[in-house]
Structures are given as structure tokens and as C-alpha cells.
Amino acid sequence: MSGISTHVLDTARGLPAAGLRVRLEQQSDGAWLDAGAGSTDSNGRVAQLLAEGRALDAGFYRLTFFTAEYFHGSDSFYPEVTVQFEIRDASRHYHVPLLLSPYGYTTYRGS
């Protein structure tokens, strides 16, 4: 099944980042349009970010992770983390993990 998912781990705490709000957008004619949203579950996962009934199309997408909310105003450097990526084959599933700490992050194409 095609779609977009994420898994966020809080590397400073060594735990899944539960309750982190994530927004998915798709680029269309130069503008970014809402394509879905979610919050990570107790395991730090959002299994499907595409809005219900929305098909995955080829194109440019971006995920915004609202990290300032997650860190509850405590000392952190990045208020948001935005990851932009391109989908060429809409028949596949795309998993975009995020490893997060108050002062850094890493992302990659997962499986």
C-alpha cells in the first residue's frame, strides 16, 4: 500500500517521541497545499500521514515536525524541522524517520 509514514525517536531521552505533531504538504504550481497531518503515537510513529481518501501522487512533499511544541518550551535550538522530498513512484510506500534531540536532528529514507 502506498503512503507516507514517519517514526520519531528522541535520542536525548532514548525514547520514542510521543505526541509530536507532524504536518504533510504537497507542492502544486509552486504553492504548498495541506496533504495530511498527525501526531506520533506512544511508539513515536504515524503510520499514514496522507489525509483519508487522498491518493499519493508523484511530486514534491514536505513534512514539518513541530519540535518546539514537543520540547514544551524547554531549551531547544530548532522550533520546527522541515524535511522536503520527492516522490517519483506513487505506487510505493515512503517512510521518513527522524532522530531528534534539542540541538540536532537526522533524517533518512526508511523502509
What pLDDT is recorded for position 80?
A: 96
The total of structural domains in the chain comes to 1
Q: What is the CATH number of the domain that holds 40?
A: 2.60.40.180
Cα separation of 44 and 14, whole Å? 12
In angstroms, the CA 71 to CA 67 distance is 6
pLDDT tens digits along 58-106: 999 999 999 999 999 788 999 999 999 999 999 999 999 999 999 999 9
The string of pLDDT tens digits covering residues 41-54 is 999 999 999 999 99
- Cell numbers at residue 88, please? 517519483
Cell of 100: 531528534
Give per-residue pLDDT as tens, 19-32.
Answer: 999 999 999 999 99
Structural domain span for residue 87: 3-107
